[in-house]
Structure 1
Amino acid sequence: MFEKFTASAREVVRGAVTHADRTGSGTVGEEELLLALLDREGTPAAGALAALGVPDRRATVTEALDRARRSGGLSPADTTALAELGIDVEEIVSRVEAAHGTGALAAQRARGRFGRRPFSREAKGVLERSLRIALGRGEKHIGDEHLLLALTTGAGVATAVLADHGVTRAEVERVLAEQTHAA
């Protein structure tokens, strides 16, 4: 599959590993893939994210991802649903971190074979969906735009954070189509 990745898509994957190293995450997850996409410039995904105003809101995206990481991967929607049941996730996170240290609920800091961080099941799902999306669009390569589209179709934290910022698959497809017609 990776032989179909464009240079830009490969840079996203390498950037995701760098983000996982920086945060101390035990695995490379979809959150790191999203952060790596936000680092890109001059690519189809970067253009789509810019057209949707995400770079201007990068701080809120990053904060939402950090909150989710601290709370063991709960999305804002999960936190809201639990609050409706009387469960205060922030209080639980605070108590766990007071007893076990900051980030105690975040992914473990394990490494895979050869000292490399493994990709989480969710991140692998994003990579697989990107291939299916590219094939479904009749394209022979997997670009960063396919990774972005795959992130908008999952059920994970990155998908929820993107949706909270107005980035849905329909919006990304619309912007990508506009970019293609303008080129």
Structure 2
Amino acid sequence: MFERFTEGARGVVTGAVGHAERTGADTVTDEHLLLALLDQRGTRASFALAALGITDRRDSLEGAFAQARRRGGLTQADADALAGIGIDVGEIVAKVEEAHGEGAMRVGRKPRRWWSGHRGFAPAAKATLEKSLRIALGRGDRHIGDEHLLLALTARPGVVSEVLADHGATYAAVERATFGGLSKAS
């Protein structure tokens, strides 16, 4: 699959590994893929992110990711659903942090190193890479570009797609900004 990646998409994957290393994460996640996409310049995805105003709101994105990590990786929709049945995630987090320290529920806290020293991809990040292939094939493209990675991040449920949608970057919005609303698959 990686032989189909464009130079920009390869840069995103390499950048995601770098973000994981800098933050001490044990695996590369969807969040790292998005942060690496935000680092790109002059690519289809970078133009789409800029057109949607996402590039200028990196701090807001990172803050939303930090809140999700603090909740143990739950999306806000998950927290809202639990609140609907009387479970206050904020209260649980506060009690756990009171007993075990701030950030006790944060996901990816303890880095595990394999003998090789390389970081693997989390199952969700692998699924995003696979989804990018399906999106590219569905559009009739013979390559996987960073635009396909961005679309895959918006298409898969989870914290990253929720945060992007909250910032106006839904799948449909990204597709319009990237391809002008024209679908090759139609």
TM-score, normalised with respect to structure 2: 0.89
**1:56–1:154 CA distance, 2 compared to 1 (3 A):** same
Q: Distance in 2 between matches of 1:70 and 1:19?
A: 18
Match of 2:165 in 1: 163
Q: Which structure 2 residues correspond to residues 101-180 of structure 1 after superposition, within 5 A?
A: 101-105=101-105, 106-107=107-108, 108-178=110-180
RMSD: 1.8
- Alpha-carbon distance between aligned partners in 2 of 1:97 and 1:14, rounded to the nearest angstrom: 34
Q: Residues 58-92 of structure 1, C-alpha deviation per residue, up to 9 Å, x if partnerless?
A: 11111111111122111111122222333222232
Q: 1:48: which partner in 2?
A: 48
Contact between 1:49 and 1:55, CA under 8 Å: does it hold in 2?
A: yes
Partner of 1:20: 20
CA gap 1:103/1:19 in 2 versus in 1, 3 angstroms? farther
Q: Distance in 1 between matches of 2:178 and 2:171?
A: 10
> What letter corresponds to residue 57 of structure 1 in structure 2?
R
Q: What runs of 5+ residues in structure 2 fail to find an aligned partner?
A: none
Taking the aligned partners of 1:179 and 1:68, their CA distance within structure 2 comes to 31
User: Whole-Å Cα distance in 1 between the matches of residues 180 and 140 of structure 2?
Assistant: 18
For these two proteins, the number of residue pairs brought into alignment is 180
User: Normalising by the residue count of structure 1, what TM-score does the alignment of the two structures yield?
Assistant: 0.90
Q: Residue 158 of structure 1: SS of its match in structure 2?
A: helix
Q: How does 1:58-137 map to 2 (within 5 A)?
A: 58-105=58-105, 106-107=107-108, 108-137=110-139
For the Cα contact (< 8 Å) 1:27–1:111, is it kept in 2? no
Do the aligned residues in 2 keep the contact of 1:26 with 1:110 (CA within 8 Å)?
Answer: yes
- The 1:113–1:140 alpha-carbon spacing in structure 2 relative to 1, beyond 3 Å, is farther
The unaligned stretches of length 5 or more in structure 1 are none
CA distance in 1: counterparts of 2:159 and 2:72, whole angstroms:
10
Deviation at 1:164, TM superposition (A): 0.9
Name the residue aligned to 1:11.
Answer: 11
